[in-house]
Chain A
């Protein structure tokens, strides 16, 4: 899980072009949107693309978005659960 979260932080920084942000600046449980990293709706689309590109996961239910993309940890948990389901 720690390795996955570390990878995710680097991928988020690259995908969203978060200049001046380092992986260690993003907390595992820090909210990604609004008060946390300050991401917005366009970033949400970029995160959906990130999941598809790197983990072959298509977010089938849009209502899951806020829960899945709440933090790096929730994203990692979603990926792990999805991979276990499809193993």
Chain B
């Protein structure tokens, strides 16, 4: 199946299909999305009820549909681990503040995880299939798998698939207290050098229009997707990788670029470093989490990056690519894990 179009709001200047040239540099342990002027995409009367994450989700989805020239997809499938945290926080705070009375209806209505998919459906006046997956570090992959199955089983000819997660002040404070993030100031460009515990918080909204048939202007083909949960160790990860590529009929030297999910956490990055010395030793590798930070659906940013690199044929300096200059990127493997628990593999190729 084909990735026909994308829409991406991230801590980098990715919205509006701008080429990724220079990295936006952050100091601290939190990267925040660069948001567009939403009024160009959403009716101002409807914006007032949308929290930040809903706006990010709707705008990225609309940009994706606009690029594909599709007014109403056959299905809308979203993935989010945290859901609409800002509204959830507002709703719960009001419950406490007003002793479980006088609850504001808007925050309650908007606090559910499927609000973004539902808002997209409402704006498009679409009654088609609409589903949201909330599976922590597999949320995006589950949505993607659902979209792929809909296409494979001829339930749809095109599917809008997206992943959205936000970081809010309370959630950042809680996760920071749980030592997920680096302590003390660090530049996002230096996270791989710190060799310390923790990563940097991120967020993002990335959407893809998947289609069964080629359009002639697609970004890339999505050849395969595989997830595995809590592998016993490095050897099981290698077995999973070998089995996935064998199933796809692809050898390691067929892969032009591997995008790995290193996030600067000394513990979590060990698996990537081990693979760089073993299975990936002859491959060109790049990382991406210095651009978007770490969050449960960060692999959607990696898919956007992989698809963009395949289509544009460009590897900007911000990706720290060390392979041969001018090399044509025809096949990209993405390997990501979230907290060592949720591991995913995606294979993209040129159309």
Contact = CB atoms under 8 A, between A and B. Distances in A.
Interface residues of A, number: 13
B105 interface: yes
Nearest to B104: A49
B194 interface: no
Contact of B48 (A18, A45, A52, A53): A18
A71 B47 CA distance: 23
A53 B106 contact: no
Contacts of A53: 98, 102
Given A42-B49, A42-B109, A19 B102 contact: no
B48 A42 contact: no
A81 to B, nearest CB: 22
Contact of B105 (A18, A20, A38, A46): A46
Given A17-B49, A53-B98, A42 B105 contact: yes
Nearest to A41: B105
A19 B39 CA distance: 12
B48 A49 contact: no
A19 B47 CA distance: 9
Interface in B95-109: 98, 101-106, 109
A49 B109 contact: no
B45 interface: yes
A17 B48 contact: yes
A46 B102 CA distance: 9
B44 interface: yes
Interface string B63-102: 0000000000000000000000000000000000010011
A17 B86 CA distance: 15
B250 to A, nearest CB: 50
Interface in A10-24: 15-20
Interface of B: 44-45, 47-49, 98, 101-106, 109
Given A42-B49, A46-B105, A53-B98, 15 more contacts: A15-B104, A16-B48, A18-B48, A19-B44, A19-B48, A20-B44, A38-B45, A42-B109, A45-B105, A46-B104, A49-B102, A49-B104, A49-B105, A52-B102, A53-B102
Interface of A: 15-20, 38, 42, 45-46, 49, 52-53
16 contacts: A15-B104, A17-B49, A18-B48, A19-B47, A20-B44, A42-B49, A42-B105, A42-B106, A42-B109, A45-B105, A46-B104, A46-B105, A49-B102, A49-B103, A52-B101, A53-B98
